Structure 1
Amino acid sequence: MIDHAHDLASVRDATERLLTAAGALDNAAASEASRLPGWSRGHVLAHLARNADALVNVFEGRPMYPSAEVRDADIARDAPRPLDVQLADLRAASARFQAAGAVPADWSRTVELRGGVTDTAARVPFRRWIEVEVHHVDLGIGYELEDMPDAFTEREIAFLAERFTGHPEVPSTRLTDHTRAWSTGRAAPDGPALTVTGPAPDLLGWLAGRRDGAALTVTGGALPVLPPL
């Protein structure tokens, strides 16, 4: 069962870790390339701020973004700002997200995200937690997949495995870190044809498009090429 209050607290803690780490940068470092192609660290910070506001829209029944073009333009506009402005904006936007999440509501209601994707309101805090944790890694400032809370890593692997379940381009696959197991890909009447094994952070990195899977072991075939998230 999803505990949205726990996830809101986890988002707050993850945001504080990110803000503290980013606060050690300077303006020059903030303008340097992140690990995301074509994005500076400023782009990542701007995206995180605007995503928090977008999820407030979701909570309050408005479209997440007016359009994809407006989303991209807002990130490009905000990316070059001085670091202190970036961090103040992200802190304020994160506080607005927390405030919206604290409003009494029907957490079982269905909400709409980008591209017509729907989910329950109770899962929105975890989706924000994903944004903060993964983009902290994307900043390239010393926070790695191995530094993520273990409970988060397990849930994110399950979340991404679910996302690819039934996808026609992904073969039926079993994922395991030798302790836990997940399944993903298209249905197979005889069970998964492939097994992908490795440390949980490497499984998450491969599923999230942050690692190439070189640290994983595959039995039954080649490592699947995953479609973009």
Structure 2
Amino acid sequence: MDNASVAEPSRLPGWTRGHVLAHLARNADALVNVLEGRPMYVSGAARDADIERDAPRPLDVQLTDVRESAARFQDAGAAPADWSRTVELRNGVTDAAARVPFRRWVEVELHHVDLGIGYELEDLPAEFVEREIDFLAARFTGHADVPPTRVTDGTRAWSTGREADQPEITVTGPAPDLLGWLAGRRDGSGLRADGGPLPVLPPL
């Protein structure tokens, strides 16, 4: 990337690559807040305003901010703590403190793809792909608008959607395509749905 490409559109609607980099930095600081018992963001409006403020910065400033905020998050994570405690994220969402590092990993990997600079879902570490499919399948489990669905790459399988004794639909495809569909990064055209149409997933 260079200064010109930072101002170009990312793969996220309405965001330039600068917005993505700014979000990555501010998310690291927000997760420090979570680990240290403060609100993740002052407000949704403040979160958005910080990203808009930082998005136009030149590449060297963006990268320095991403690195320094990542170091602050790493320092916060290294501090002695009760990792079994419950922490609060955005919009009242709660999770175990022990899951916060994985949530940060998700931000880094998926937004790296969102930059549109040659890093694709197929380049994601296999361990990450499996864990993120686990996470997203669990997130949609019990969702009234998602039919009972079995998701499989031919080797591993996950269940998601409304609770039922048997799945109504089986979705099959390569793990990166499954992840892309579950994470809203791909339209599912690389997947096969048996038993009905490919489910339309609610936004994350």
* TM-score normalised by the chain length of structure 1: 0.89
AA paired with 2:53? Answer: R
Q: Which amino acid aligns with 2:181?
A: W
Deviations 1:176-214 (A, max 9, x none): 0000000000011x3111100000000000000000000
Residues 21-36 of structure 1 aligned to structure 2 (within 5 Å): 25-36=1-12
**Alignment match of 1:59 (pick from 35, 60, 70):** 35
Number of equivalent positions: 204
Asked whether 1:221 is paired with 2:196, we answer yes
- 1:30-81 deviation line (CA, Å, top 9, x unaligned): 1100000000000000000000000000000000000000000000000000
Deviations 1:140-160 (A, max 9, x none): 000000000001000000100
Q: What SS is found at the alignment partner of 2:98?
A: helix
- Equivalent in the alignment of 1:171: 147
Matches within 5 A, 1:80-95: 80-95=56-71
The one-letter code sitting in structure 1 at the alignment partner of 2:155 is T
For 1:82 and 1:186, locate their aligned partners in 2 and report how far apart those are by CA, in whole Å.
46
> Which of 62, 87, 101 is the aligned partner of 1:111?
87
Letter of the structure 1 residue corresponding to residue 61 of structure 2 = V
1:70 pairs with one of 29, 46, 49: 46
Match in the other structure for 1:199 = 174
Distance in 1, Cα, partners of 2:168 & 2:200: 15
SS in 1 for 2:113: helix
* Other-structure match for 1:181: 157
Identical-pair percentage: 78
CA RMSD in angstroms comes to: 0.4
CA distance in 2, matches of 1:154, 1:184: 15
After TM superposition, what 4+ stretches of structure 1 lie above 2 angstroms from structure 2? none
- Secondary structure of 1:151's counterpart equals helix
Structure 2 CA distance, aligned partners of 1:66 and 1:200? 37
Taking the aligned partners of 2:42 and 2:58, their CA distance within structure 1 comes to 26
Higher relative contact order structure (alpha carbons within 8 Å, sequence separation ≥ 6)? 1
The reply on whether 1:47 has 2:23 as its aligned counterpart is: yes
TM-score between the two structures when normalised by the length of structure 2: 0.99
Q: Which blocks of at least 5 consecutive residues in structure 1 are unaligned?
A: 1-24
The reply on whether 1:37 has 2:37 as its aligned counterpart is no
- SS class of match (1:134): helix
SS for the counterpart of 1:178 is coil
Match for residue 103 of structure 2? 127
> What amino acid is aligned across from residue 93 of structure 1 in structure 2?
S
